Amino acid sequence: MPPAAQPHTAPAVAPQPKPAPAPSAANGPNAAGFKVPVLPPLPAEATPPTAVIGVLSVPQVLQESTAAQGVQAVIQARQAALAKDAQAARDKIQAEQQTIMAERGKLSEAALEQKEQNLQNEIAATQTKFQERNQAIQNSGQAALQQIEAELAGIVRQEAQAHGMNLVLHREQAVLNVSAFDITDETVAELNKLLPHVTVPPSVVTPGMQVDTPEDQGGGVGP
């Protein structure tokens, strides 16, 4: 049979696979690849109450707290004294460095090396001392602020109960709120009445004190 007379046969088409159903959140694998188990339902419990919301700005409360202002003043005064002592230590070390430089032509290499090593040891010890003093100041400030925060927590609970609120949020996290929700001013007034000031404990350096920062804030000592 001539080619033109041959019957036309349609090309075979492979059937397209059906897409697999997406795993449901109830029993499919999670992001880590583990299958989420299907657990039996828990016994029914009471429905939570309707939320009555209040908002509070803790930064504003601490800024306007007379007790917190007093703590800040004490800490700043102690840090200023620390900075003054640190500057005196820097001046002393710089004077010792200049003395060593002036003696370079008069001392033997061994004697000069020993003096330089002694100076480096003095610098390291001085840095550690001022870092520990700075940490002690920070610790005493935190201890005083913890007293204020404890009192603040009680006042917030008291204010919430007075307003019938059962949920108090940080004002800075609320996208929108109205003044009727805000208990910040009332909380400030109550805090200043109940805790007008606190005593900042002494900044005591203890042996082996853990220093949080590698550099002394406001009191670094170096060549």
Q: Over the stretch 120-179, which tens digit does the pLDDT of each residue have?
A: 999 999 999 999 999 999 999 999 999 999 999 999 999 999 999 999 999 999 888 889
- What would the pLDDT profile of 52-90 be if each residue is shown by its tens digit? 999 999 999 999 999 999 999 999 999 999 999 999 999
- What would the pLDDT profile of 177-215 be if each residue is shown by its tens digit? 889 999 999 999 999 999 999 999 999 998 767 776 544
Task: Give the number of other CB atoms < 10 A from CB of residue 76.
Answer: 13
- CA–CA dist 142, 145 (Å, integer): 5
Helix axes 109-162, 184-194, angle to 10 degrees: 110
Return the closest-CA partner of residue 167 out of 49, 47, 52, 58. Answer: 52
Please indicate whether residue 106 or residue 57 has the higher confidence score (pLDDT): 57
- For residue 166, count CB atoms less than 10 angstroms from its CB and return exposed for 0-12, middle for 13-18, buried for 19 or more: middle
Alpha carbon separation from 164 to 156, 158, 181 (Å, rounded)? 12, 10, 11
Predicted local distance difference test score (pLDDT) of residue 11? 41
- Asked whether 119 and 111 are in contact (CB, 8 A), the reply is no
Terminal CA-CA length for the chain: 104
Specify the DSSP element, H or E, that contains 168: strand 167-170
Say whether pLDDT at 8 is over 90.
no
- Bridge partners (DSSP) of residue 54 are 168
Q: Where are the alpha helices (DSSP H) in the chain?
A: 58-64, 66-102, 109-162, 184-194
